[in-house]
Amino acid sequence: METIEMFMWGYQRHFQCSAQTAAEKIFSRLASNLEPCVFLVGVLNQNRDDRHTICLEPEDCGYNPSQFAEVKKQAEHIEAIDSDRNIWHTHPIAQERHEQFLKRKALRTAIHQIVNHMSKYHNIISFCSYPVQVEQYWVIVVLQFNRERYLAQYSLTNNERDRLTIYTSLLDATVALYFEECTKALITQEPGSSFNIFDRDYDEVIRTAGKNLMYTPSTVCREFEGWHGLFEACNTISSLNYEGAEGIGKMLISKRGHPNVEITLTLLTPVKLQNYRAVRKLLEMSSDEICLLSDSGYIYGLGNLKGSYEQRAEDLFLVNFTKHYTWELLHADHVMMRVAYRQPELPKASINKHKFETDIKRIFPEITSQEISRLWDLVLEATKQKHGTMVVVSSGAKEESNRLKNQATVIEPVEITTQIMKVITAIDGAVLIDPSSTCYAIGVILDGLASEKGSPGRGARYNSAIRYVETNGYPCMAIVVSEDGSIDLVPNLMPQILRSLITKAIERLKELKEDKNFDSQKFYKVIDWLSKHKFYLNVETCNTVNSLKQQVQLTRDRVIDPMAIRINYPDFSPNPEINESYFLDE
């Protein structure tokens, strides 16, 4: 019996692996917990008996080909009702391209509907690329994220204006650019034959996405001159000093005559935004109450907001120049993007309440819910300090205040309130309190031995917290608020996981060891999972996993082509910090 080919093209697995790696590298720069996952869907262009109608790479992506059995019919229906079918081009080549685009768009929509219908029950949000023909298949790249964490980032709701597609968030713009790069790679000869399918540096992808996001405020202004220069203008203006002072101020962006913009001063001759030094000079006149007014092409006056802005209109934006070479884009008081030295980033998340509560409970097992709630209120107040601060919660706060009395201001023990916290975090040094919120010292200069966990890329406050927490001898937590707005918990405990997940991974390796036919996808999947969770492996688990891994690899070496690419994973080593507090029972 003739075997039907199970693949779309020879390098599909390499392409998928490279696309997955690129997604992890790019989106981890924006947020560390999005959990990007990439797989490919291939739809056979013309029916053939020696090819599968639907192919998935990898095959264990969480879907099966039968779920896409009606995708062609579904795409035909979507194309038939597409209003863009009423658009006709006089040039025959343009009309042919238009019709081909409608077919590709319909197939993309059909795939997305199927994938999204299945994934919405698993806290996953999915995005699909436009199809590209590779050999006999239309290939669609599917990119998925953790739905809750993706949607936690602020986004506009309208992605089209005057038939122009606009970006609703930095994540949205980055996803679009990611798919562009995947498409470029798919149209090359033998896509996936090289180790990296992306031509661009990952940071460059995010810079371009930030530039593309700035088309959104430009589009609402209908000012063509600002469309391609707003991102560069904001970067340059933020980099310029005026009489030795760094640029701090605000700029409202909207079409002229916006009902929520009150003009205080009108320039007789508007200043072009690309006249950077002139704009920087005008920025000196702005303040918390007065903003520069721009239509994205020119500065035409100064003014402020008035009335109640209809947020759903999404036609009024604010650029906030915060410090040298740093600015941010806001809509309706929501930060959409921060840019520092030309590199865009998502706004840093405020301290996570759930993580704070679970971590502090693990550090101080005897702490009560009321004490945790009181500490949370105090920590929130401390995070409002614009110049940064540090709060140290220690079970030995009383003893430590006495030990460090020569480098601290020791006070009569007092149970502090949020009002007191606001005052005592205004000075340099740490605030030292115990789990019951009793304060023993302020302005504390912490000590401690050098630590391998320190980072030369972080400031003195963060590194002193690392040194102190590691060597002071008492259970403690430091909450570090840096000047750049970032908030760190030290120690930054790894999340707890179900103990059964480790057990199940070992069971899968045991099953693979007994299988005489090597299944590469199942093997690499379980080893990749263990690699990502290696922190949770103790001595006994590492020995078991290493032994099973070696036995499965021996089977692999016997059954696969000697010329095939092999991935040899190094042995796992136990983490000295792992303990029972990191595991949850069913």
pLDDT digits (tens, 9 = 90+) for 283-312: 999 988 899 999 999 999 999 999 999 999
3-state secondary structure of 36: coil
pLDDT for position 348: 75
Which band of pLDDT confidence, cut at 50, 70 and 90, is reported for residue 562? low
pLDDT for position 585: 80
Average pLDDT along the chain: 89
Give 133-147 pLDDT, tens digit per residue. 999 999 999 999 988
Most confident of 107-121, 464-478, 572-586: 464-478
Query: Residue 327's beta-bridge partner residues?
Result: 321, 339
Q: Which of the two residues, 429 and 244, has the higher pLDDT score? A: 429
pLDDT for position 2: 43
* Residue 565, pLDDT above cutoff 60: no
How distant, in Å, are the alpha carbons of 258, 327, 331, 345 from that of 335? 21, 10, 7, 11
% residues pLDDT > 70 (the chain): 94
Give how far the C-alpha of residue 210 lies from the chain's centroid of Cα atoms, to the nearest Å.
13
* Residue 268, pLDDT above cutoff 80: yes
State how far the Cα of 125 lies from the Cα of 33, in Å rounded to an integer.
14
Q: Is 497 exposed, middle or buried (0-12, 13-18, 19+ CB in 10 A)?
A: middle
Question: What is the average pLDDT across 264-286?
Answer: 95
Q: Which of the two residues, 88 and 399, has the higher pLDDT score? A: 399
pLDDT for position 354: 85
Q: Which of the two residues, 512 and 122, has the higher pLDDT score? A: 512
How distant, in Å, are the alpha carbons of 59, 60, 105, 159, 567 from that of 525? 11, 9, 32, 36, 12
pLDDT for position 563: 54
pLDDT for position 98: 84
* Residue 515, pLDDT above cutoff 90: no
Question: What is the average pLDDT across 265-288?
Answer: 94
Most confident of 40-54, 67-81, 83-97, 222-236: 67-81
Question: What is the average pLDDT across 480-492?
Answer: 83
Which band of pLDDT confidence, cut at 50, 70 and 90, is reported for residue 432? very high
* Residue 564, pLDDT above cutoff 80: no
Residue 551 CB contacts under 8 Å (≥ 6 apart), including other chains: 513
8 A C-beta contact, residue 38 and residue 85: no
pLDDT for position 50: 77
Question: What is the average pLDDT across 313-335?
Answer: 94
How distant, in Å, are the alpha carbons of 214, 237, 302, 579 from that of 280? 19, 6, 13, 55
* Residue 485, pLDDT above cutoff 80: no
* Residue 107, pLDDT above cutoff 80: yes
* Residue 422, pLDDT above cutoff 90: yes
Residue 380 has a CB neighbour count (10 Å cut-off) of: 16
**What letter does residue 38 receive in the DSSP assignment?**
E
8 A C-beta contact, residue 400 and residue 474: yes
Residue 119 CB contacts under 8 Å (≥ 6 apart), including other chains: 62, 125, 126, 144, 147
Which band of pLDDT confidence, cut at 50, 70 and 90, is reported for residue 27? very high
- Buried (b) or exposed (e) across 145-181, using 16+ Cβ within 10 A? bbeebbeebbbbeeeeeeeeebbbbbbbbbbbbbbeb
State how far the Cα of 144 lies from the Cα of 358, in Å rounded to an integer.
28
Q: Which of the two residues, 333 and 456, has the higher pLDDT score? A: 333
Which band of pLDDT confidence, cut at 50, 70 and 90, is reported for residue 516? confident
* Residue 451, pLDDT above cutoff 90: no
pLDDT for position 1: 35
pLDDT for position 3: 44
Least confident of 194-203, 301-310, 327-336: 194-203
Question: What is the average pLDDT across 536-561?
Answer: 86
Lookup result for tokens 């650029």: 319
Which band of pLDDT confidence, cut at 50, 70 and 90, is reported for residue 195? confident
